[in-house]
A and B are shown apart, each in its own frame.
Chain A
């Protein structure tokens, strides 16, 4: 049960990250804009995190 909850929080965070990056959660729009986000970074606790990597990890 705990694992499920952790997974759910990760998924929710992932969807939020998608929304922050692309300002939408529509599949078609997101995939059309993916190539624009390749070298962009989140700034989190002074770490430079690749946006797409963060999104994929959280969705996973």
Chain B
């Protein structure tokens, strides 16, 4: 689904690509009485993992964000497949906030450097785009589930109900979801390092035209960033609080499938797995980018090796 950046912010965050997930949440009564929830959870977790691995090697700024949308949709679908519709809806609404923020601020950057979308031809933009950088940082933090930002509450809730399910599909979804969390963190911070922090790699002819977005473009970003920071905490009880009546009877769960309480009493070791993986993804991307800056020959040798080439082509060819 490609389009101009504000359009893709709209379709990825709120309307088009999440419409299918909303349909499934809305039809929860039908799904709950059928026998195919297993298949939905399987497809969802596979999508989450697959899309995040593809996102690892994309060089287009918007495409990285688009694949992260795809991976987050996978999270929502497997939350539906594990029959926790309220959590899927919570993740949908939170995801709308920080994904719109990411797309719009990426649009500010792309507009500011003469419509260049390739991340490898950016770098060092932190000095000229301080506000866009801050916004992308907030959006990425919320996306990877940094504690107490918006994405943390919904994503961790999804992964917790997956492991608390206790059957095969729950464990499978938890494993793939955690791997996807690792990949998400890796490519989000890869985006930030490549576009903003690295040494600059930009065309010289673009340099005089570089400008930070005007206040008209930045103001909505600020509103969205407030959303990306606080909304998860503020609406958590409304969406997934135990036994509240926000959804009325639109959120019907067979009592045998209901394990919000089990997920509440998991050992904290298991609850911390996604966070540890997120941190390790961050460290990994920092490490690789720094290696690339410091020791170019080693990375060059690695890139020439057969394993790396197979891995890379496997990922880029989807």
Binding site for B on A (CB under 8 A): 7, 27, 30-31, 34-35, 38, 50, 52-53, 55-57, 59-60
Contacts and interface: CB of A to CB of B under 8 A. Distances in A.
Contacts of B256: none
Contacts of A50: 34-35
A35 B32 CA distance: 11
Interface in B18-44: 20, 23-24, 26-27, 29-31, 33-36, 39-40, 43
B83 to A, nearest CB: 12
B76 to A, nearest CB: 12
Nearest to B80: A60
Contacts of A52: 30, 33-34
A59 B33 contact: no
Interface of B: 20, 23-24, 26-27, 29-31, 33-36, 39-40, 43
A53 B34 contact: yes
Nearest to B252: A31
A59 B39 contact: no
A12 to B, nearest CB: 13
Contacts of B26: 27
A35 B27 contact: no
B33 A38 contact: yes
A37 B39 CA distance: 21
Nearest to A27: B26
28 contacts: A7-B20, A27-B26, A30-B30, A31-B29, A34-B29, A34-B33, A35-B33, A50-B34, A50-B35, A52-B30, A52-B33, A52-B34, A53-B34, A53-B35, A53-B36, A55-B30, A55-B34, A56-B30, A56-B40, A57-B34, A57-B36, A59-B27, A59-B30, A60-B24, A60-B31, A60-B36, A60-B39, A60-B43
A56 B77 CA distance: 13
A31 B30 CA distance: 7
A27 B24 CA distance: 12
B36 A56 contact: yes
Task: Among A35, A57, A60, find the residue whose CB has the most chain B CB atoms closer than 10 A.
Answer: A60
A60 B29 contact: no
A28 B290 CA distance: 57
A41 B209 CA distance: 66
A30 B27 CA distance: 9
